[in-house]
A and B are shown apart, each in its own frame.
Chain A
């Protein structure tokens, strides 16, 4: 048994490209969607790493790649010491037992024609463990995630969204995994139910010594549950920081903009907040901008380096890494955000 604190997952320069094909009979390869383009990070044993970013930034693709649901185009993914990217057959199956996933949509991620008992016991059967005790195990699991007695014989449609998410979690816990990739596990739920599931995830982590990769777009939830947070933009990680630090001291301009856009449920705070509004939309990942990918929307963009030189992730303040050429200057206030026309103002006071 390894100690807490060493790395459970290590990703090195991961690239996942989805080919774009054209033509009817003979499909020509005309380009790639660069969903993930050179991502490196590690997840320590027992920690929760939050992965945030807007839709299309590649965060889900990274999560699925960790379970080898996609074959990486390039790069390596280490689970303990084994490179998942090159494993196959029996070895891969054995490793998969130790990593599970929970999904965003509690309606489409459970088979409507199977009862809850079957859904939760399926991983046990697939991996040939449990034997005669399966029923007992399933009942225990369902109890652990807070489902009422007798749930095993009922069907998914009889449960509410929050309860279904509990079923999904019970299924993920069945094989007592080390790593759970949670892909937007609470975004489809109402706020009062969200809190129930967030708390349950935290309890389960403590009870079963789980490691989470928590993927979500809701920064407040991610900040609440994560130890460290990685921010993604257009296929690359732009900043990694301890979650306590991220809000206080964001270093990358994109992180600053993202944080300032999250509404805070307090009208007094909202009134005096500084808001960095980004102009325009996310560029296409098929043809990402040169240099720093954020330069087309960055309010701090400079004449030099930003357009043509790709910034690498580099350590800055304690525990924080950032991919921005001018992070220090922005931090020191030497570079000011630029202002544009009224409808595209990058910086305005809210209210």
Chain B
């Protein structure tokens, strides 16, 4: 029995001018302690699906038009607001890309951190403050005691993201959804934040859904990865399997279009031609077909479903999966390993 189970989730944005089919039926399961990555480019619906799960889609345009999100035998989509509110922030917490706009600028960090502790866990002020200090220390904020009275603008971007994480984990959530948590940060700070997240997942047995466009981040953090394109899942597998044997042409395209820091030779990058699908229009067949080198008549007419390949746990939605001969072979410079550094 999985911790969270999403079935055929559908989200639309309805405006007077057009209807955007943002998410068109996605299904996945998440186990306790698992790290799941959802990758895709802007507009593919990766953030929208997580907002929909927690019932915080932008109103009034955003609507969940189908599917269910089962968490502990309850369908989150059918719960009344007051019940959902007690789950959100306590059992399922979320952190966002931009820590400046997600924190309230006129309240101290201490006040914002203790709010959820007092509300969800019924702590009194003194206990909540002690717990807040412990949390800030946990995410690596030095001299946490002195910083409770500080306001968000007195923190740097990386420190603000740490505060966000502290806030998100304050009620020991079972699931943490991190939506592009490091995109606004510099790489050295990104490395610090990802390290904090990895430690938390390992020590608190918390499940993590990491939403990002950065294949490198997924490779370093997630055990399983799902690739999303135009509102649908196109491929899902364990991260190692996915990067070693990408079967969907879009996944392969993504991998070939990013330069690798450790590449031994300078090969020309292979961009994906064309532009993403306009999601205001309905279409037949595979969404990726117009940009795909492997597309056939069938791809343009019938939509492929996610099916398991011959590797167990590796699912792909494609009529003509990438053959072994076309898998990427990259010559790389070997990396210095941790053992070498220590010895």
A interacts with B: yes
User: Which A positions have Cβ atoms within 8 angstroms of B?
Assistant: 54-55, 160, 162, 190-196, 198-199, 202, 217, 219-221, 223-224, 247-248, 257-270, 272-275, 277-278, 280-282, 337, 343-345, 347-351
The 6 closest A-B CB pairs, nearest first, are A263-B216, A349-B338, A195-B271, A224-B259, A343-B140, A195-B257
* B contacts with A: majority SS: helix
> Nearest chain A CB to B43's CB is how many angstroms away?
9
Flag if A220 contacts B188 (CB, 8 Å).
Answer: no
B239:A267 contact, CB within 8 angstroms:
yes
* Residues in chain B near residue A274, CB distance under 8 A: 335-338, 340-341
Residues in B whose Cβ lies below 8 Å from that of A202: 268
A275 neighbours in B (Cβ, 8 Å): 191, 195, 338
What are 14 of the A-B contact pairs (CB < 8 Å)? A162-B275, A257-B188, A264-B219, A264-B335, A265-B218, A265-B258, A265-B260, A267-B240, A268-B240, A274-B337, A277-B191, A277-B195, A348-B195, A348-B338
Interface check B42, CB cutoff 8 A: yes
B187 at the interface (CB under 8 A from A): yes
Report if B41 contacts A (CB, 8 A).
Answer: yes
Q: Do residues B271 and A199 form an inter-chain contact, with CB atoms below 8 A?
A: yes
Hey, what's the 0/1 contact readout for B242-264 against A, CB within 8 Å counting as 1?
01100000000111111111110
Asked whether, in the complex, the Cβ of B332 is within 8 Å of the Cβ of A192, the reply is no
Residue of A whose beta carbon sits closest to that of B254: A191
Give the CA-CA distance A154 to B6 in the complex, in Å: 44
A51 to chain B, nearest CB (A): 15
Q: Is the CB of A266 within 8 A of B140?
A: no
Other than the known A220-B261, A263-B216, what 18 A-B pairs have Cβ atoms closer than 8 Å? A54-B188, A190-B41, A190-B213, A192-B41, A192-B253, A194-B258, A195-B270, A198-B259, A202-B268, A220-B258, A223-B259, A224-B263, A247-B262, A260-B191, A265-B258, A266-B260, A269-B332, A275-B338
Whether A196 lies near B271 (C-beta < 8 A) is yes
Residues of B within 8 A of A264 (CB): 216, 219-220, 260-262, 335
Q: Is the CB of A267 within 8 A of B336?
A: no
Contacts of B216 in A (CB 8 A): 262-265, 270
**Smallest CB gap from B156: residue in A:** A281
Q: Would A191 and B262 be within 8 Å (CB), given that A54-B187, A267-B240 are in contact?
A: no
Q: In the complex the two chains form, is B191's CB within 8 Å of A261's CB?
A: yes
Residues of B within 8 A of A262 (CB): 187, 216, 261
Chain B, Cβ-Cβ closest to A280: B142
